[in-house]
Amino acid sequence: MAELSIREALGQAMAEEMRRDPDVFLMGEEVAEYDGAYKVSKGLLAEFGAKRVWDSPISEAGFTGLGVGAAMVGLRPIIEMMTWNFGIQGFDQIINHAAKMLYMSAGQFNVPAVFRGPNGAAHMLAAQHSQSVEHMLATVPGLKVISISNAADGKGLLKSAIRDDNPVIFLESEMMYAQKCEVPDGEYLIPIGKARIEREGTDVTIVAWNKTLPLAAEAAKALAEEGISAEVIDLRTIQPMDEEAIFKSVAKTNRLVVAEEGWPFATVGTHITARVQEEMFDELDAPVVRVANDFVSMPYAEHLEHAVVITAEKIIAAVKKVTYSA
C-alpha cells in the first residue's frame, strides 16, 4: 500500500491504462506541457509523448465531440474538463451524441470515452465556477456517472471507467486533489455501481459523495459524541445507483439524510428520497431530509459563500431532525 493523493492516484490510473492499452489517449486543456491545470496528468506527456497526450484548444464542445468520434471508431479517449463548468459547453456532445449513439444505432456504435474533471464549488470562485452537474447528467440514459471522494476509489474507479465500453462521466473536486489515503498496490479496480460504507452506524444513514463525504464523516464523528450513531455511505457511482446499499442501510437505521452539493431542486438527493419512500415507506421512522446548497447562484465573498453551501453543521442539524433529537 502506498499513500497517494487523489491527483497522484488519478494520474497513476491513467498511466497504467495507457500502458495497458495503446488506444487510450488523453486530451484536454493544459493536460500535456503544463502537466494539467491541477497536475492530475503530471508526467504523462513525458512518458507517452505527444501522440497520446494532447493539449486542446479552448473548445469544449469541439474536443468533447472529437472524443465521441474517436471513440466511435475504436479509440478510448479520456477527455479532461478543466472544470465541469466549462464542460457544460460540451453538454451537447455528451447528451445529444455520446449518450445516444449506442441507442440510435441499435447497438452498432458504442462510445467508450471518459469525460473527467473537477465538479462542484471550490473556494471563492463565484457563480460560474461553482456548479455541480451530477444530477444534470445522471438523468440521461446512456451515461454512467461516477463521483469520487478519495484516492483509492479514484484510482480503482477511473481504471474501470477507462475500460468501460460506455461513455462515463467522472467527477472530481479541486478541493480534494491533495487529500491522501492508502491506495492498494498493483492492479486495483473497483466495479462501477457499488457504494461503500465509510462508517458503520445504527441510528441514521447519511448518503454522501465527493466533497460532501468528508463533511458527512465529520458530522458523524460529532454526532457520535452526542450519542447518535450515524452510518455514512459513500455513493461513489451516481448512475447506475447502488440502491441496494442504500436500502440495506436504511432498513437498519430507519432514518435517512442525503447530503449533496449543488442546488436542492430535482437532484440526486430527490431521486434517492423518492426511491426510498417508494420501496421502504413502512420502514422509515421519520421523513427523509435532504441537505444541499441553497437555491441561489454562488456568491463570491467568503462569508456569503459559506452561508449558502452545505456544511457539516447543516448535516448535523438534518440528522437531529430525523432522529427527533433537536
Partner 1 sequence: MAKGVSKDQKIDFYKQMLLFRKFEEKVGQAYTKQKFSGFCHLHIGQEALAVGVQQNLRDDDYMISGYRSHTQAIGKGIAPESVMAELFGKVDGCARGKGGSMHMFSKEKNFLGGHGIVGGQVPIAAGVGFAIRYRGGDQVCICYLGDAAANQGQFFEALNMAATWNLPVLFIIENNRYGMGTDITRTTSVEKLSERALGFAMEHSTEDALDVLNVYDHVGKIVEKMRKDKKPHLYEALTYRFRGHSVSDPGSYRTKEEVESYRAKDSILKLGEQLVAEKIASEEDLKAWGKEIKERVKQAEAFADNAKIADVSEAWQHNYVDTHS
Which residues bind to partner 1, rule: CB under 8 A? 21, 23, 25, 51, 56-57, 59, 61-77, 92-93, 96-97, 101-110, 112, 141-142, 144, 160, 162-166
How crowded is residue 75: how many other Cβ atoms within 10 Å of its Cβ?
A: 16
Closest CA to 195 of 163, 238, 226, 165: 238
E strands present in 99-138: 114-118
- The CB-of-27 to partner 1 minimum distance in angstroms stands at 9
Q: Give the DSSP letter of residue 38.
A: T
Closer residue to partner 1 in complex, CB, 28/214: 28
Give me the catalytic one of 129, 218, 279, 283.
Answer: 129
Burial (CB count <10 Å: 0-12, 13-18, 19+), residue 266 = exposed
Q: Are 259 and 237 in contact (CB under 8 A)?
A: no
- The CB-of-10 to partner 1 minimum distance in angstroms stands at 19
Backbone angles phi, psi at 71, to 5 degrees: -70, -35
**Does the annotation count 129 as an active-site position?**
yes
Give me the catalytic one of 8, 16, 17, 60.
Answer: 60
Closest CA to 250 of 211, 213, 197: 197
Closer residue to partner 1 in complex, CB, 142/269: 142
Closer residue to partner 1 in complex, CB, 77/118: 77
Closest CA to 197 of 255, 252, 246: 246
- The CB-of-106 to partner 1 minimum distance in angstroms stands at 4
Closer residue to partner 1 in complex, CB, 109/126: 109
- The CB-of-116 to partner 1 minimum distance in angstroms stands at 17
| Residue 309: all three cell numbers together | 453551501
Q: What residues are annotated to the active site?
A: 60, 129
